[in-house]
């Protein structure tokens, strides 16, 4: 397939483009700085086109020429989840861009959503769990989904909406939990300050997630929301202790130094049934 990718220089985007190229797909990617993008590991084989999707005068024609599918990963101002920027700017700019791509004739659209659309629901969350976002980020993402579903009724196209849970791996936010832990280990720190650690989350290595997403793009049809998750909850403390064993490191964990995040429930994880079914894998695989 020939795909157009936005957000290709981001955490998920870099891994996904590598997976798509390895699978033999042709990737065209939008970037503000194509030279910088080409210099990133594994991304030189993609066709990088200079442009900014925030620019309403952006010429879509050369971007979509010959493209079968849009993969929309771009999103600005993260991880500031409560910034009004998400729904005041991102929502409308990104809807405008995707709508223009659809109007140009691209009939298959895949967009990165977020588990934050579920809000404060606890337990195993399936795609049928009502979305009740409590962050500006989650609200903007879920509103974009609604906009696109309304657009489908006006001009039909196939939509995959990937609800991503917690990803970790090379290129992750340096302030995220495991990146902060690795930095403390590398610096020879004796202690690691963290939250109480009993929160249950759904963590997935970003390379594994990229493999799932690349395979989903090859599945035809209008599938709507798809949880991209492991389906296996793990406590933050267990995750940290696992990384300490992997790194053969010993740090005193200062539990409860940071409070629980108000925008997250204590325990939630994804139900991967739909993901596994589309990829023809056993649910417990």
What's the DSSP call for residue 25? -
Say if strands 166-168 and 234-235 run parallel, antiparallel, or are unpaired.
unpaired
Distances in whole angstroms, Cα of residue 253 to Cα of each of 143, 184, 259: 39, 11, 15
Q: Provide the pLDDT for residue 283.
A: 65
- List, for residues 126-160, the tens digit of each pLDDT value: 999 999 999 999 999 999 999 999 999 999 999 99
Q: How far apart are CA 103 and CA 97, in angstroms?
A: 10
Give the three-class secondary structure for 261.
Answer: coil
In this prediction the pTM is 0.95
The alpha helices in the chain, defined as continuous H runs, are: 11-22, 34-38, 61-64, 85, 91-103, 136-154, 177-186, 206-217, 236-246, 273-278
Count of all residues that appear for the chain in the document: 285
Q: Provide the pLDDT for residue 69.
A: 98
Per domain, the residue ranges of the chain are: 2-167+204-231+269-278, 170-201+232-267
The neighbouring-strand residues paired with 50 are 31
Q: Provide the pLDDT for residue 282.
A: 78
Query: Could you give the angle at the alpha carbon of 20 between the alpha carbons of 107 and 103, nearest 5°?
Result: 20
Q: What is the CATH topology of the domain spanning 2-167+204-231+269-278? A: Rossmann fold (3.40.50)
Q: Provide the pLDDT for residue 284.
A: 61
Q: What is the dihedral of CA 73, 141, 76, 135, to 10 degrees?
A: -140
- List, for residues 21-33, the tens digit of each pLDDT value: 999 999 999 999 9
- Backbone φ, ψ for residue 24 (5° rounding): 90, 10
Q: What is the dihedral of CA 27, 33, 39, 44, to 10 degrees?
A: 20
- List, for residues 223-250, the tens digit of each pLDDT value: 999 999 999 999 999 999 999 999 999 9
In CATH terms, the superfamily for domain 170-201+232-267 is: UDP-galactose 4-epimerase, domain 1 (3.90.25.10)
- Backbone φ, ψ for residue 237 (5° rounding): -65, -45
Q: How far apart are CA 267 and CA 97, in angstroms?
A: 35
Low-confidence ranges of the chain (pLDDT < 70): 283-285
Instruction: Reduce the secondary structure of 67-124 to three states and give it as a string.
Output: CCEEEECCCCCCCCCCCCHHHHHHHHHHHHHHHHHHHCCCCEEEEEEEHHHHCCCCEE
Q: State the residue for tokens 């925008």.
A: 263
């Amino acid at each position: 397939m020939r795909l157009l990718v936005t957000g290709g220089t981001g955490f998920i985007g870099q891994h996904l483009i590598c997976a798509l190229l390895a699978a033999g797909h042709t990737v065209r990617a939008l970037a503000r700085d194509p030279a910088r993008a080409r210099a990133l590991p594994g991304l030189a084989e993609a066709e990088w086109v200079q442009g900014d999707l925030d620019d309403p005068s952006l010429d879509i024609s050369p971007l979509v020429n010959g493209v079968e599918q849009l993969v929309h990963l771009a999103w600005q101002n993260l991880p500031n989840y409560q910034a009004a920027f998400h729904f005041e700017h991102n929502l409308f700019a990104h809807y405008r861009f995707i709508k223009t791509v659809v109007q140009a004739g691209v009939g298959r659209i895949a967009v990165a959503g977020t588990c934050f659309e579920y809000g404060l629901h606890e337990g195993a969350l399936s795609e049928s769990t009502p979305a009740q976002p409590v962050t500006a980020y989650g609200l903007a993402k879920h509103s974009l989904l609604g906009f696109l579903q309304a657009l489908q009724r006006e001009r039909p196209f196939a939509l995959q909406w990937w609800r991503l849970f917690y990803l970790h791996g090379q290129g992750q936010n340096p302030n995220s939990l495991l990146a902060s832990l690795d930095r403390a280990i590398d610096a020879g720190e004796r202690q690691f300050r963290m939250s109480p650690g009993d929160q249950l989350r759904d963590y997935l290595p970003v390379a594994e997630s990229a493999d799932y997403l690349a395979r989903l793009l090859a599945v035809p049809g209008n599938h709507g929301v798809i949880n991209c998750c492991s389906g296996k909850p793990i406590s933050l403390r267990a995750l940290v202790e696992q990384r300490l064993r992997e790194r053969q490191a010993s740090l005193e964990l200062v539990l409860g130094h940071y409070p629980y995040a108000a925008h997250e429930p204590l325990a939630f994880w994804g139900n991967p049934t739909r993901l596994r079914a589309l990829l023809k894998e056993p649910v417990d695989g």
